[in-house]
Amino acid sequence: VPGTMMIGTDSHTPNAGGLGVIAIGVGGADAVDAMTGQGFTTKMPKLVGIHLKGKLNGWTASKDIILKVATMLTVKGGTGKILEYYGEGARSLSATGKGTVTNMGAEIGATTSTFGYDEQMDPYLRATDRRPIADLCKQYASYLQSDPEVEKDPEKYYDEFHEIDLDQLEPHIVGPHTPDLGRSISTMASEVDEKGYPAEISAALIGSCTNSSYEDMTRSVSLVRQAKDAG
């Protein structure tokens, strides 16, 4: 439910941040305390603002946003921090796309990641049988979003501030062995030659964790069809 807070015993609990939730992954003991009515406490996190400008295009997907962020901040760069994504680019992403971004905030050690409420969340709430909640969110939308002055002067309100131009963002590939070793797909060929990586792809896995949405499956089907047509 947008505007709420939740904790869960999974490091990827922040997936719910794609619906405007402050969702934090905790250990079993903390969860039991909360279930028995005791309070949950955590060290006050720093707030990181990530302005997404422009709009995704071509084969660039929401996952490329978080891969870019991981490359920028490193796997420890989110420790003790909450990442808030905002801007016209953020509002252009589907709820599923937002969830992909917030889910993988765990890979950089973030306490959690979240988006403010926007109209892209409305159809998701209605499609998942939450019409009354969707109606309430629409009625009180202004309370579930950053105040206008935050977007106008982000450095005044955030402890740390970054900007990503989605118009210029390319599909990314990360690894091996770590999610913060990233590069755009246009530079991958030269890196294969320089570092002696295998030039042929022998296997690919789809359908797990943050590449399991209907959007991802549709893209995968399109790729397979194009490859088949190309022989």
pLDDT tens digits, one per residue of 117-134: 999 999 999 999 999 999
Q: Which pLDDT value is given to residue 211?
A: 83
Is the separation of the CB atoms in 62 and 85 below 8 Å?
no
Is 211 domain-assigned? no
Is 194 domain-assigned? no
Coil, strand or helix: which one is 24? strand
Is 226 domain-assigned? no
Is 51 domain-assigned? yes
pLDDT higher than threshold 90 for residue 24 = yes
Count of domains in the chain? Answer: 1
Mean pLDDT, the chain, whole residue set: 94
Residue 44 sits in a domain whose CATH number is 3.40.1060.10
The DSSP symbol for 107 reads G
The per-residue pLDDT for range 196-218, each reduced to its tens digit, is 998 888 888 888 888 888 888 99
* C-alpha angle 121-125-126 in degrees, rounded to nearest 5: 120
Phi-psi category of residue 224: left, alpha or beta, with phi > 0 → left and psi -120 to 50 → alpha: alpha
* C-alpha angle 211-216-219 in degrees, rounded to nearest 5: 140
Is 183 domain-assigned? no
* C-alpha angle 46-49-53 in degrees, rounded to nearest 5: 170
Is 229 domain-assigned? no
pTM for the whole structure: 0.93
Rounded CA-CA distance 231/226 in Å is 9
Is beta strand 160-165 parallel, antiparallel or unpaired with respect to 46-53?
A: parallel
Rounded CA-CA distance 72/78 in Å is 10
pLDDT higher than threshold 90 for residue 231 = no
Instruction: Using the structure block, give the residue that is written with the tokens 């789809």.
Output: 206
Q: Which pLDDT value is given to residue 102?
A: 97
Domain range holding 75? 5-171
- Per the structure block, which two tokens stand in for 149? 């002055």
